[in-house]
Structure 1
Amino acid sequence: MGGDLIITGGVPLNGTVRIPAAKNSVLPLLAASLLCSGTVRLLAVPQLADVDASLVLLRGAGCTARWQGSDITVQSMPSVCRLVPEAAAQMRASILFCAPLLARLGRVETVLPGGCRIGARPIDLHLSGLTQMGAHCCEEGTRLILTAPAGLRGADITLGFPSVGATETLLLAAVCAQGETVLRGAAREPEIVDLAAFLNRCGGCVQGAGTGTVRVQGRRVLYGCSFAPMADRIVASTLACACAAAGGRVELTGCAPAVYAPLLEILAQMGCGIETGPESAVIVRSGALHGAGRVFTGVYPALATDAAPLLAAAMLCADSVSSIEDVVFERRFACADGFAAFGADVQVQQRTLHIRPVRQLQGAEAAAPDLRGGAALVIAALAARGRSRIADTGHIDRGYACFVQMLAELGAQIEREMPCGSTCEKKTPSKKQI
């Protein structure tokens, strides 16, 4: 969508938001649809830039993929073994489309995947696992060519790190391979459980998803199904941190608090009131926000790496020091320069962001450096006094659908200023919300 975000901060957030489906679940599910002989229907999918890029990849492979209202239907008959380079280079998740095409066609060509520049994100775990399953890998500059002349076969694979992407790639390869695959050291994230549930609904046999050891009995053909992806725990985390930073009372529904519990626990330690139910959480911040001390991200079930910049934005408003270290990506805090523009006292040392208290954040101009860092700058702007402008919002649009509307319905004074004199997408609170 693009355009700058114009935000007048200092307004508490109040209201209820139903959390949309998770981008980090939808993208691997769209890749998995390549394995299915019948129609796949994903329900209530958010309209995100990365979702549109995924549809380009599916259509480029010869499939029919289209929106039907808020749902997406895919009829998978892949005939082209080359992923559209422009779409593949746009996002990290394009690597997930390789294993299904390799399983169906025996060959796939792509470019090395793109995405946010938050640090090294190698695909060696993906490739070494596929090699153990019978694939041949060849890199020619930025091109990657995978072949499986004898088909994929089950293997006993141990991941050196519980990579979410590698776990998803190898599940997608194993579910249609010959024989059994045992994946040890697997990622345990809820999105892995969601992918396994989808594959099983389509006729696959995946056991142990959500634990460190996953077993897959290969099947030759999967059929289609209708499936509702899980709610987006990172969007929920974003809104929880926005409430903590700006103040107010926000209820988040449709997303189990258990999947982002570490973030809620830290916000509670910082002085927020937190009430949780099976599928909802209420965040209240009416008094002072306190520093969190030293905080670390980690693999699930620890604090999610994607939540690190969001939580850091809330920490900017605390009355004592905090530090947050991301153990996954070395450049997770590219948003630090933007924080400093708001008057925050921040310092990055290697993978750690150190935050000292300031009297008040001030409105400023800043540019989104990446997806979650851009959302963190929006949170800072909501807490700052005065008017702010956030540029390079295309990063934010990759992971947040209707972000302006979502925040405005909570009372935020926010609008999107489109380039070249286009009409603003204005969203201000209604009298009822005030």
Structure 2
Amino acid sequence: MTQQSGRIWVMGGRPLNGTAAIPAAKNSVLPLLAAALLCRGPVRLRAVPRLSDVECSLGLLRGAGCAAYWQGADIVVAGMPSNSTLPGETAAQMRASILFCAPLLARLGRAETSLPGGCNIGARPIDLHLEGLARMGAKELDAGAGKLVLAAPGGLHGADITLRFPSVGATETLLLAAVCARGTTVLRGAAREPEISDLAEFLNRCGGRIEGAGTSTLRIEGRRGLSGCDFSPLPDRIFASTLACAAAAAGGRVELTGCPPALYAPVLEILEQMGCTVERGADRAEVARFGRLYGAGRVFTGVYPGLATDAAPLLAAAMLCAEGESSIEDVIFERRFGCAEGFERLGGRVKRSGRVLSVGPLPESGLHGAALTAPDLRGGAALVVAALSAQGKSFVEETRHIDRGYAGLWEVLASLGGRIGREMPPPDAAVKKIPSKKQIYLAFEAKR
């Protein structure tokens, strides 16, 4: 699928006020779509946001031979995979394409794909995925540069696996492999993120036997077949974090509904330390800022339940508006702060050193509008958040990055009172066509 880019314009300086409902989480929907390959019955995912990464996942499912389509706001997946080769161009567009390999191995004994892509935020090797799959009987075949071919002609079997780092992606891959493998798998050192628990709940609803989701040790008893089910993915804690940071940066009062505050508690706690008022309910939070913002001091990301790496650039955008100093270190990815250059263009006092972004006090003149380029998904959203607090007009180019994880971000912010819109390039129909030989001849005759 070709991603069409465009630009978002922001006229900053206006506070945000109102209520926003948090959609389903992209980071849950993608592994759930991969899990649908294991199901003999139809799968329906409820109220899925229309993201470019979701469209890529549907392309992978269709390439594998399944029916995968939208039905209103829901996605329906039906049929078993018949093709072990995933579409190369589609697979290369997003990191989550690696998740589709384990189900294909389990069902067809083989998986072939391009090496997965995604945001350029640092090294994201798949060695943990491959090491775990090898313990379960998969072999990596020589496929040439940029390709990945895995085979398990004898099928996958259970194993006792210890991850040396609690990788979310590797935990999801091995969970998907183990749920239909022969025997029992024990996965130690597993990630504990809410999206892991969501995937385990879905697989159990389909007939799987998974214990320990939400802890560092998972026990999976393999099952020959899984049925389908109707399932509502959990809400997007990163989307909620984005809007919470936007309220802190621009000022005003924003109520976020449909997402338990516990899912993004570190973000809310840091915003409180910076001077925001946060009210919490069972599945709602209200973030308000009417006075000054203060520096957050030194902040670190970490594995769940620590501060999510995806939230780091968003918090940094709010830190730009603080009167004191802050620093934020991402211990997961070494190039997480590609948005730093854009922060500088807005007039922010930032310094990047390795994994650490230092943020100085807000200049007396404040931030000002600028021409910006989204470097990646979360960095692009962070530039939009920062532009909301800047005086004057800003433009954020390369919005295709933002579209990977946010459905209509600018529309949500506009509904909260932000002066923001989107401009798209002219349609392909406007591209000048190559004239035919007859047209060239007629034009030549007319000139004579």
Q: What is the TM-score with the length of structure 2 in the denominator?
A: 0.93
Correspondence 1:134 to 2:137: yes
**One of 251, 254, 258 as aligned partner of 1:254:** 258
Are residues 421 and 141 of structure 1, via their aligned partners in 2, closer, same or farther at CA, if it must alter by over 3 Å? closer
Correspondence 1:29 to 2:7: no
What residue number does 2:95 align with?
A: 92
**One of 348, 351, 355 as aligned partner of 1:344:** 348
Deviation at 1:76, TM superposition (A): 2.8
Deviation at 1:420, TM superposition (A): 2.9
What residue number does 1:398 align with?
A: 404
Aligned to 2:92, the other structure's residue is in SS state: helix
Aligned to 1:144, the other structure's residue is in SS state: strand
- Separation (CA, whole Å) in 2 of partners of 1:89 and 1:34: 19
Per-residue Cα deviation, 1:282-310 (whole angstroms, up to 9, x for no partner): 00000000000000000000000000000
- Separation (CA, whole Å) in 1 of partners of 2:324 and 2:391: 19
Paired residue type of 2:341:
D
What residue number does 1:50 align with?
A: 53
Paired residue type of 2:419:
Q
Deviation at 1:272, TM superposition (A): 0.1
What residue number does 2:380 align with?
A: 374
Q: Any conservation in 2 of the 1:33–1:76 contact (CA below 8 Å)?
A: no
Deviates more, 1:315-324 or 1:2-11: 2-11
What residue number does 2:317 align with?
A: 313
Aligned to 2:43, the other structure's residue is in SS state: strand
Paired residue type of 1:123:
I
Q: Any conservation in 2 of the 1:250–1:282 contact (CA below 8 Å)?
A: yes
Are residues 38 and 293 of structure 1, via their aligned partners in 2, closer, same or farther at CA, if it must alter by over 3 Å? same
Q: Any conservation in 1 of the 2:129–2:173 contact (CA below 8 Å)?
A: yes
- Separation (CA, whole Å) in 2 of partners of 1:401 and 1:345: 30
- Separation (CA, whole Å) in 2 of partners of 1:404 and 1:115: 22
Deviation at 1:417, TM superposition (A): 1.0
Per-residue Cα deviation, 1:129-154 (whole angstroms, up to 9, x for no partner): 00000000135211110000110000
Deviation at 1:421, TM superposition (A): 8.3
Paired residue type of 1:111:
S
Per-residue Cα deviation, 1:242-269 (whole angstroms, up to 9, x for no partner): 0000000000000010010001000000
Deviation at 1:2, TM superposition (A): 2.4
**One of 65, 69, 73 as aligned partner of 1:66:** 69
Correspondence 1:19 to 2:25: no
Deviation at 1:77, TM superposition (A): 1.5
Paired residue type of 2:92:
A
- Separation (CA, whole Å) in 1 of partners of 2:5 and 2:75: 23
Deviation at 1:405, TM superposition (A): 1.1
- Separation (CA, whole Å) in 2 of partners of 1:283 and 1:267: 9
Structure 2 residues not aligned, in runs of 5+: 429-448
| Aligned ranges 1:98-113 → 2 under 5 Å | 98-113=101-116
Are residues 195 and 421 of structure 1, via their aligned partners in 2, closer, same or farther at CA, if it must alter by over 3 Å? closer
- Separation (CA, whole Å) in 2 of partners of 1:106 and 1:170: 15
Aligned residue-pair number? 422
Per-residue Cα deviation, 1:162-192 (whole angstroms, up to 9, x for no partner): 0000000000000000000000000000000
- Separation (CA, whole Å) in 2 of partners of 1:402 and 1:195: 25
What residue number does 1:186 align with?
A: 190
What residue number does 1:355 align with?
A: 359
- Separation (CA, whole Å) in 2 of partners of 1:138 and 1:287: 60
- Separation (CA, whole Å) in 1 of partners of 2:278 and 2:349: 27
RMSD: 0.9
What residue number does 2:85 align with?
A: 82
Correspondence 1:122 to 2:125: yes
- Separation (CA, whole Å) in 1 of partners of 2:24 and 2:426: 32
Per-residue Cα deviation, 1:300-321 (whole angstroms, up to 9, x for no partner): 0000000000000000000010
- Separation (CA, whole Å) in 1 of partners of 2:178 and 2:424: 45
What residue number does 1:265 align with?
A: 269
Structure (1 or 2) with the larger CA radius of gyration: 2
What residue number does 1:157 align with?
A: 161
Q: Any conservation in 2 of the 1:42–1:73 contact (CA below 8 Å)?
A: yes
Q: Any conservation in 2 of the 1:35–1:76 contact (CA below 8 Å)?
A: no
What residue number does 1:214 align with?
A: 218
- Report the identity percentage: 68
Runs of 4+ aligned residues of structure 1 deviating over 2 Å after TM superposition are: none
**One of 5, 8, 11 as aligned partner of 1:2:** 5
Q: Any conservation in 1 of the 2:328–2:357 contact (CA below 8 Å)?
A: yes
- Separation (CA, whole Å) in 2 of partners of 1:248 and 1:345: 23
Q: Any conservation in 1 of the 2:38–2:80 contact (CA below 8 Å)?
A: no
